Amino acid sequence: MNLSGKIALVTGASRGIGEALAIGLADHGTDVIICDLESESKGLANTHKQIEKTGKKCWSYFLDVTKKSQIQKMVSDILNDIGSIDILVNNAGILTPTSLEDIDEETWDSHFEVNTKGVLLMCQSVLPHMREKKFGRIINIASIAGRQGSPTQGHYASTKSAVITLTRVLAQEVGEAGITVNAICPGIILTEMGKNNLGSEKEIAHWSNVAALKRLGDPKDIIGPTVFFASNLSDFVTGQSINVCGGIYFH
């Protein structure tokens, strides 16, 4: 699964899964474009440094994925200055736990803005370029929450369910152009966000015991499936959503 010669764009790359995927793609041969909010500049700079240690090129941009004008300018700058986007990894996302009974409109709207609209806007911005090349790999980071939901995460689960459906439909709309669109549904990954949402070592132990593999995920566990979807080994795979959860969920 050597991706040499390809250029990948990863959103939300300052930490967690996004950081791991950006570095992992570089380890497998891609040059990498990373982006995140300006408030995450320190983490983004660290990711940039780690990618350069692999010997691959890296470019960094500040980006709010809810702002169409920012996305369009970034993509235009990338195509003018770098020349290509072969792989798009839509990773940027947020989660603030709250019950559906108590959720306020601002929290509901902000999650859909980042987690769902952000994916759509990023796809819309790169698709003309991918259509022109007759090649592209779009990989959306969803969640097993989008499969089954979870208390205090109903809003988040709804956004990720929408991403899964968006993936299926977009794959049908762009397949004739040589573009594949797939999603990855991580389980409980021990990122900063994941640990905060579990809240305690007791919860970590509980969910570790629930998993068939008797452990929770590390961000690096998401690299393999992402590289597969980005590589020519998945040329005949599109519109699919794969659970990467250590055996917590089986549908």
Which of the residues are catalytic? 156
Amino acid at position 119, single letter:
V
- Under 8 Å between Cβ of 143 and 186: yes
Q: If you ran DSSP here, which 8-state letter would residue 113 be given?
A: I
d(CA 79, CA 29): 20
d(CA 78, CA 58): 12
Cα angle value 177/243/43 (rounded, 5°)? 85
d(CA 218, CA 61): 25
For residue 51, which of 1, 76, 14 has the smallest C-alpha distance? 14
Beta bridge mates, 8: 32, 87
